[in-house]
Amino acid sequence: MFEFHHSCMSWSGKELFGSNAVLNKLELLHTDGKMKRPQFNTEWGIKAFPVGGFFQLGNKLMATRFGQIINSLLEDDIVRSHQYNVNPVLFPFSNYILKGEIPLSCSKTKCPMSERLKQMVKSEAERRVKNLLLVEQMLAQHFDTDPLYENDPLSHQNYIQLSQLDKPGGFLHSFNWTNYLRSILSPINYKINWRKEIYVSELGLLQRLAKTIEKLTDQQIADYLVTEGIVTTLSVKKCPMDRRWMKMGEKCKKFIEWYFPHFLDHLYVKKYLAKGVKEQVKQIFTDIYAAFKQMLESLSLLRQMATLDYYDPSWGVNAYYSRENNALVTLNAYLQPPVFNHDFPAPFNYAGIGVTLGHELTHAFDAWGSYYDAEGKYNNDWLLPDIRRKFQERKQCFVKQYGDIKVVQVDGTLLSINGSLTANENIADNGGLIAAFNAFQLLKQKVNYPKHVFNGLRQYNDEQLFFIHYAYRQCSKMGQIWLRQRLSVGQHSVTPARVNVPLQNFPKFAKAFKCPLGSAMNPYLKCSLW
């Protein structure tokens, strides 16, 4: 791993190979070997792996990068690397190179070209930019996130055989999923055939993708695929984009994360995870578990609880609940201030990592998690019909409560939170706060619980410190563009709603700070699932 990192950081190696990495990849991706337009099919997917192509759906706006790509392809290191053997990818430029219209001695900062070559490059670039924008726009229009989270969970129980994906007239007729998966899994000797049953989280997504691709011309598809290959492989090349995109040291770290995840995980835990932290977090979770169990028993909802597990890269900064595995995961890098610190007093850690653990545990019983049993299987029967009906009624209270919140932008525009899209996370926010606070109260009942006094905070008791830290850990400032995006497609509510609303719904917060009934933080109307 260390030798790999050293090679990645070596400028001399990049000077030696020039743009060969990019050009060789592009040559490989022309699937018929004759340098015709690449096609989106199984052969391309296998050769491109791990390039995502259409599998990487999102707002990437390739056009902002393509101008830089064209510039890098005309640098002198390309010409120097192919002085006697022009790479097939450069065949459209080969005559200009060999005739001297792109001088072999041109510098990186000043490389004169003939007028007709300039026009060719301009025309080529304009076409590719337009096609890239068109494809990205079509993908954005056909992959709306709202239906993905508002549908009944039953629509996402798609365990199907690979043969169903590969059947004529099925999903992406040009793509054979059995052969694709068999190829990319062969290095680890994992055998797979058409009978293999796989989980597809959203069949509708594949169907919409197929329809989108059918509307594109071969040229539009080719431009999109070629750019994916270029963007992915440019990271191994020394070029001016290093200054614009990402510093080389950051790139090499990303490569290490990609190729050596488990060894990097070992190093991270060894260096940064203090002794006793894991046990301390497990003890907090034990208290959260007990408090959550009391909450559920009071509603006769309890059947099975989730288990705490650790199986993701430790440097990841996140925590989540997996319905299919019935597992709650908190990543080691998440255990940092203000969420957690080994030396924090109990009110801070319970308001930090405790709330997170409670939040993720609540997902086991939210609008989706409540449909899954202890084995991670879809089971619509484990909640009694009357309980299910009450659950849906209480969920709608959250949908309306958050949906009525208006967020003011700098220009004075009022935008609303999507109460339906954020429902699951809002329920988890409220449940996590309650579970963590109740767990903290259970901790205080223990005989060895110490009394906390802090300089500058002597006027606050432990309960008030808990709520103060709960709000502090979520302090953030969001730019207007990011705010609009979060409101449009984010599953989490934006702050301050994510802080204030759970506190408004929690009577014990009002009691701790003596908020009068009917005041801003103690409204008459409250929503509660528990």
Q: What is the pLDDT of residue 89?
A: 42
Q: What is the mean pLDDT of residues 452-458?
A: 80
Partners of 308 in the β-ladder: 328
Residue written as tokens 């199984």? 42
Task: Pick 515 or 303 by higher pLDDT.
Answer: 515
> In the predicted model, what is the mean pLDDT of residues 401-425?
87
Measured distance CA(323)–CA(317) in Å, rounded: 20
* Weakest mean pLDDT among 40-49, 141-150, 248-257, 446-455: 141-150
Of the pLDDT bands very low, low, confident and very high (cuts 50, 70, 90), residue 175 is confident
- Could you tell me the domains of the chain? 2-152+213-259 (no CATH), 272-384+421-479+495-513 (3.40.390.10)
Query: Cα angle at 134 between 128 and 138, to 5 degrees?
Result: 145
Phi, psi of 81 (to 5 degrees): -70, -20
Which residues have CB under 8 Å from 515's CB, separation 6+? 509, 521, 522
In contact, 355 and 432? CB cutoff 8 Å: yes
The predicted-structure confidence for 203-218, as pLDDT tens digits, reads as follows 777 777 888 888 888 8
Q: Which is it for strands 414-416 and 327-330: parallel, antiparallel or unpaired?
A: unpaired
Q: What are phi and psi of 286, to 5 degrees?
A: -60, -40
Q: What is the pLDDT of residues 415-426, one digit of tens each?
A: 899 998 899 899
For residue 343, what pLDDT is reported? 86
Q: Is the pLDDT at 525 greater than 90, yes or no?
A: yes
Q: What is the pLDDT of residue 116?
A: 61
Is the pLDDT confidence value at 305 over 50? no
In the predicted model, is pLDDT for residue 307 greater than 70?
Answer: no
Per-residue pLDDT, 87: 40
For 119-153, write each residue's pLDDT tens digit: 767 787 888 888 888 887 887 776 655 454 555 56
pLDDT score of 30: 64
Structure tokens that stand for 295 in this block = 């909450």
Higher pLDDT: 20 or 361? It is 361
pLDDT of residue 245: 46
For residue 16, pLDDT beyond 70? no
